[in-house]
Amino acid sequence: MSSNRAVAYQGPGKVEVVEIDYPTFELKDGPGVNPANVGRQLPHAAILKVVTTNICGSDQHMVRGRTTAPEGLILGHEITGEVVETGPGVEFIREGDLVSVPFNISCGRCANCKKQRTEICLNVNPDRPGSAYGYVDMGGWVGGQAEYALVPYADWNLLKFPDKDQALEKILDLTMLSDIFPTGFHGAVTAGVKPGSSVYIAGAGPVGTAAAVGSQLLGAAVVIVADMNADRLANARKFGCETIDVSEEDPREGIARILGREEVDAGVDAVGFEAKGHGRDAGEAPATVLNTLMNVTEAGGALGIPGLYVTGDPGGVDEAAQEGSLSLRLGLGWAKALSFTTGQCPVMKYNRQLMEAILHEKVHIADAVSATPISLDDAPRGYAEFDAGVAEKFVIDPHNTTGKVK
């Protein structure tokens, strides 16, 4: 049996590369595994040799100690890999296939999956609808920041790349299909971005950047990205976005400077529950982004909210925030007849189309997010630098498949 190593959360601010079991076709007990999932048989699963697995801002929430994640949890929900073994129930996926793994695990059989709501599958997490690899309260499916990973319901979940050699040439773009590119695109779609739209995107991290690229792909006339991080704002300007530094400028005033009016057609929240207030010395104020979006989006518009919000935040600014209760100006949103779309992105709704856009040179998402390959052993450094706000998307390459790991 092969060995396996993975990135584990070891307490606030600490991750380590540890030895773990090589995957088998059974979900075993471990940190974060729901007791009702222990012993679950997985004849429908595939074992992957991980080609790339990305560090996500959602992982950072756990690593900062801002969730109820247990120590020892194996991290990583953005996975691309090569199939090395399949269970007896797998019919169409074959050994040697190069595949993208949607971060949300789904069965393909329940009522929600059949409605394309794979983000709230009813059969993979005993606690609540919806699941993901390596994430708190998501059923305990082992994370993919590892040398090898297991994917259940492989025929359903895996997106096979049609040409393996072509895919390897574009792997830094295609690795973004597991989460951030569909997630950012979903934010733009649910915000109602159309040809000629103006859109305000809060957050210039990887998901906000993906939302900006997605908005451009959808035909937006003006894409405005707001953040406090000068490097990330500079990166957004490189691919044609307008920017607002909300530590220095009020969002409505910035929008007026850019558009000549104070409201946009569509708004996207790519920040989530660790939002800060606006202004140079602003502290954490988790409802800031949502309230700002209601303020700057025109009446009858829509808000796409791919930014993460949680039901348990030990580091919340008050008791309400610690259980995910925020002080929202819902009356303003109601008065303006705004629509809201929250929750995980249903990745399978978009990943095939976005794959085709990448393969046919319609979009270069890796350049936009500054994809940076690193080794598995270098993951702790990647987490620390990403947490410090560097304008890069770290791509862990456990086997140096890209040939670009230094």
Least confident of 9-23, 183-197, 278-292, 362-376: 278-292
Q: Confirm or reject CATH 3.90.180.10 for domain 5-179+346-396, answering yes or no.
A: yes
Q: Report whether pLDDT(145) > 60.
A: yes
Amino acid residing at 218: L
Mean pLDDT of the chain: 96
pLDDT, tens digit, for every residue of 61-116? 999 999 999 999 999 999 999 999 999 999 999 999 999 999 999 999 999 999 99
pLDDT > 70: what percent of the chain? 100
Q: Report whether pLDDT(260) > 80.
A: yes
Print the SS3 string covering 349-360: HCHHHHHHHHHC
Q: Average pLDDT in the 159-171 region?
A: 97
Report the candidate in 381, 374, 380 with the shortest Cα–Cα distance to residue 396: 374
Q: Report whether pLDDT(7) > 70.
A: yes
The two tokens of residue 34 are: 């729901």
Distance CA 64, CA 197 (A): 36
Q: Average pLDDT in the 8-20 region?
A: 96
Q: Return residue ranges of the chain for CATH 3.90.180.10.
A: 5-179+346-396
Distance CA 103, CA 101 (A): 6
Distance of CA 143 to the CA centre of its chain: 14
pLDDT, tens digit, for every residue of 330-353? 999 999 999 999 999 999 999 999
Q: Report whether pLDDT(1) > 60.
A: no
For the purposes of burial, counting CB atoms within 10 Å of the CB of 220, is it exposed (0-12), middle (13-18) or buried (19 or more)?
A: buried
Q: Average pLDDT in the 152-177 region?
A: 98
pLDDT of residue 353: 98
Q: How confident is the model at residue 2 (pLDDT cuts 50, 70, 90)?
A: confident
Q: Report whether pLDDT(243) > 90.
A: yes
- Reported CATH class of domain 181-341: alpha beta
pLDDT of residue 297: 98
pLDDT of residue 141: 97
The two tokens of residue 249 are: 């400028």
Classify the phi-psi angles of 134: left when phi > 0, otherwise alpha if psi is within -120 to 50, otherwise beta. left
The two tokens of residue 243 are: 């920017």
Q: Return residue ranges of the chain for CATH 3.40.50.720.
A: 181-341
Nearest 5°: phi and psi at 306?
-80, -15
pLDDT of residue 379: 97
Q: Average pLDDT in the 53-59 region?
A: 95
pLDDT, tens digit, for every residue of 106-125? 999 999 999 999 999 999 99
pLDDT of residue 129: 96
pLDDT of residue 218: 98
